[in-house]
Amino acid sequence: MELFDVYPLYNVTPVKAEAEYVWDEKGTKYLDLYGGHGVISVGHTHPKYVSAISNQLNNLGFYSNSIQNPLQKQLAKKLGELSGCENYNLFLCNSGAEANENALKLASFKTGKSRIISFNNSFHGRTSAAVAATDNKNINAPINLQQEVTFLPLNSIELVIREIGKGDVAAVIIEGIQGVGGLDEGTTDFFQEVEKLCKQHEVFLILDEIQSGYGRSGKFFAFQYHNIQPDIITTAKGMGNGFPIGGVLILDKHEAKFGMLGTTFGGNHLACAAAISVLDIIEEEQLMKNVNEVSTYFKEQIKSVSQVQKVKGNGLMLGVEFDFEVGELRKKLIFEKQIFTGGAMNKKLLRILPPLTMNKEQVDVFINALKEVL
Ligand SMILES: Cc1ncc(COP(=O)(O)O)c(C=O)c1O
């Protein structure tokens, strides 16, 4: 059997990793400024994370969601405390798309409506409603067209007023900071106006923090820059540092009903052990403080690269924009300088999504490499 060939691949084969580095099968060491799509939060193979998962596996790896699982409660409590979202309840699933799918479904259950408002250049995943709410026709199949989605430009509040006013909207879904699209984001005024409109019209405000959450933006969730309270927050990527897990945080005024949502694997013992250890490490090692310090340093140092047009994003969710497409630049950074970076829908943008443990020396290594390659 061959693999179903859906991914264009770089010819690199990582076999080992530690902290901010990965090694290929020939022993070549790479600096990881991409964290495997913004997934690696506390660093590769962090010893505490590895031992938490190993210990759990030795005790109980999996049982279904029809028994007591105290690890889920422990995870919910810790996540509430660290994120400042104690007035939310947690539903656990396995991936980002699944988190958004459940969020949209819940909004539709609760409002009895079905239209979604999403934004240009958004990415919310590849399942039924999540992909329909994603602004990319190439990844929507005819079966996904059954969903009613209206795409609006970011920061055009008049258009949101017009659409919500029609009375058939279940949810507005928006990324804290756009990831795949290219690091654009709503202004504080925009987020606050959208929140107000959603409240007035009983529409669910869903904040997709799958990429921008878990400390990556310098706050636990990127929407916390805007002083708003979404109805639902979705998380995944950094939550398990590579172990598949997703979360739907639901404002506690929205009540659950048995059977409303469900999953076989979501919230299993191993995933919870991984996610609890991630939160412990974020707290113990003060990683959000590190994110802010290293981000400030990065933004300062990158000014010395004359070809850079603009730096977008917050914390260690950064986009470096040029006036040319960056495909070749990314290849050179990998094969000549052994540095992983990311691309975006905006082809002129280099995406920087390192582990939250990245340090200033590694910023210097990147800036020097970038100058040499340019
Ligand atoms: C903002 C955002 N939402 C949703 C997803 C989908 O997550 P997953 O690939 O885990 O389904 C992604 C993945 O890149 C994302 O960046």
CATH number of the domain residue 331 falls in: 3.90.1150.10
18 Cα–ligand 1 center, Å: 24
Pairwise CA distance, residues 242 & 313, whole Å? 23
Q: How far is CA 284 from the centre of its chain?
A: 22
What tens digit of pLDDT does each residue of 228-250 get? 999 999 999 999 999 999 999 99
Of 264, 284, 304, the position where a domain reaches its end is 284
Euclidean distance between CA atoms 89 and 267, whole angstroms = 14
Q: Which two tokens stand for residue 181?
A: 């699209």
Q: Is the pTM of this model over 0.95?
A: yes
Looking at residue 270, its pLDDT comes to 98
Final residue before a domain boundary, out of 231, 256, 284: 284
Ligand 1 center from residue 125 Cα (angstroms):
5
Q: Are 193 and 271 found together in one domain?
A: yes
Rounded Cα gap, residues 210 and 239, in angstroms: 9
Q: Are 246 and 236 in contact (CB under 8 A)?
A: yes
Q: How far is the CA of 249 from the centre of ligand 1 (A)?
A: 16
Please tell me whether residues 213 and 246 are part of one structural domain: yes
360, exposed or middle or buried, with CB in 10 Å at 0-12, 13-18, 19+?
middle
Which of 198 and 145 is assigned the larger pLDDT? 198
What is the best residue among 124, 184, 209 to mutate for testing ligand 1's pocket, by most ligand atoms within 8 Å of CB? 124
pLDDT tens-digit readout, 86-133: 999 999 999 999 999 999 999 999 999 999 999 999 999 999 999 999
Coil, strand, or helix at residue 46?
A: coil
Question: Could you tell me the residue range of the domain that residue 300 belongs to?
Answer: 14-46+287-373
End-to-end, the C-alpha distance of the chain in Å comes to 42
CA of 354 relative to ligand 1 center, distance in Å: 16
| Ligand 1 centroid distance, CA of 211 (Å) | 7
Q: Are residues 84 and 187 in the same domain?
A: yes
How does DSSP classify residue 304? G
Q: Are residues 278 and 244 in the same domain?
A: yes
Ligand 1, atom 13, residue with closest C-alpha: 125
Query: Would you call 145 helix, strand, or coil by DSSP?
Result: helix
Does residue 8 lie within any of the structural domains? no
Comparing C-alpha atoms, which of 321, 118, 80, 82 is closest to residue 205?
118
Asked if residue 111 and residue 40 are part of one domain, the reply reads no
- Identify the pLDDT of residue 40: 98
Say if residue 304 is in the same domain as residue 251. Answer: no
Task: Classify the C-alpha dihedral 94-98-102-103 as positive or negative.
Answer: positive
As given in the structure block, the two tokens for residue 100 are 């958004």
User: What integer pLDDT is reported at residue 34 of this predicted model?
Assistant: 97
Q: Report the separation in Å between the CA atom of 126 and the middle of ligand 1, taken as the mean of its atom positions.
A: 8
How many domains does one find in the chain?
A: 2
Ligand 1 residue neighbourhood (C-beta within 6 Å): 37, 95-97, 100, 123-125, 175, 179-180, 208, 210-211, 236
C-alpha 86 to ligand 1 mean position (Å)? 24
Write out pLDDT tens, residues 38-69: 999 999 999 999 999 999 999 999 999 999 99
pLDDT digits (tens, 9 = 90+) for 64-94: 999 999 999 999 999 999 999 999 999 999 9
CA distance 199 to 370: 46
How far away, in angstroms, is 178 Cα from ligand 1 center? 11
In the sheet that holds 115-119, the strands lie side by side as 88-93, 246-251, 232-235, 204-208, 169-175, 115-119, 149-152
| Residue 36, pLDDT score | 95
Local confidence band at 17 (pLDDT 50, 70, 90 cut-offs): very high
Report the pLDDT value the prediction gives residue 58, as an integer from 0 to 100. Answer: 98
Region 13-26: mean pLDDT is 98
Q: pLDDT grade, residue 152 (50/70/90)?
A: very high
* Mutation probe of ligand 1 site: the residue of 7, 135, 209, 211 with most atoms within 8 A of C-beta: 211
Residue 140 inside a domain? The answer is yes
Nearest residue by C-alpha to atom 10 in ligand 1: 96
Q: For 291-338, how does the pLDDT look when each residue is reduced to its tens digit (9 = 90+)?
A: 999 999 999 999 999 999 999 999 999 999 999 999 999 999 999 999
Closest CA to ligand 1's atom 4: 124
Query: Mean pLDDT in the chain?
Result: 97
User: Using CA positions, which residue lies closest to atom 16 of ligand 1?
Assistant: 211
Cβ 182 vs Cβ 349: under 8 Å: yes
Q: What is the CA 46 to chain-centroid distance, rounded? A: 20
What's residue 358's pLDDT?
98
Same-domain status, 207 and 295:
no
What confidence score (pLDDT) does residue 89 get?
Answer: 98
Which of 6, 118, 123, 214 has the most ligand 1 atoms within 8 A of CB, as the residue to mutate? 123
Structural domain contains residue 9: no
